[in-house]
Amino acid sequence: MAEGSLHDGFVPGRHLIDAYGNGGFRFADMSHRGSILVTPGGIRAWDVVEAKAIDRNALRPVVAEAGAVELLLIGTGLDIAPFPDNLRRWLKDNGIGLDVMQTGAAARTYNILMAENRKVAAAMIAVA
């Protein structure tokens, strides 16, 4: 993966995920090392490195765009990790559905749903 990073930690707009792996992601003609949070408003650096660190604070940017997000895909790395019921309920109470999967599957699914112009967001933990 080519070196580079998000400008100020945020790239506005909707972008497909061009590649993932090697500890990061490629999108919008750039490369970012680390995890990302993708919302209709843009892609931002996400400081989560393991699934157990996902909490309300980590997902607040998604909930802030709740009207524009109907489904949140969470990529938990190389393995699917359990997701706490209280967070599931919190997202549901905000009108956001949830699907938890491996990061690669989340990136691929995000691209498909975005191409269909669906109201989707993704929180993806970087994988090696």
Structure-block tokens of residue 116:
């269909």
- Asked if residue 106 is part of any domain, the answer here is yes
User: Residue 74 belongs to a domain with what CATH number?
Assistant: 3.40.1230.10
Domain range spanning residue 38?
A: 7-124
- Asked if residue 2 is part of any domain, the answer here is no
CA dist., res. 15 & res. 39, Å (int): 10
Residue that has been written with the tokens 């997902």 in this structure: 59
- Asked if residue 1 is part of any domain, the answer here is no
Asked whether residue 6 carries a pLDDT value surpassing 70, the answer given is no
Asked whether residue 46 carries a pLDDT value surpassing 80, the answer given is yes
- Per residue in 16-27, pLDDT (tens digit) is 999 999 999 999
- For the chain, give the percent of residues with pLDDT over 90: 91
pLDDT band at 9 (very low <50, low <70, confident <90, very high): confident
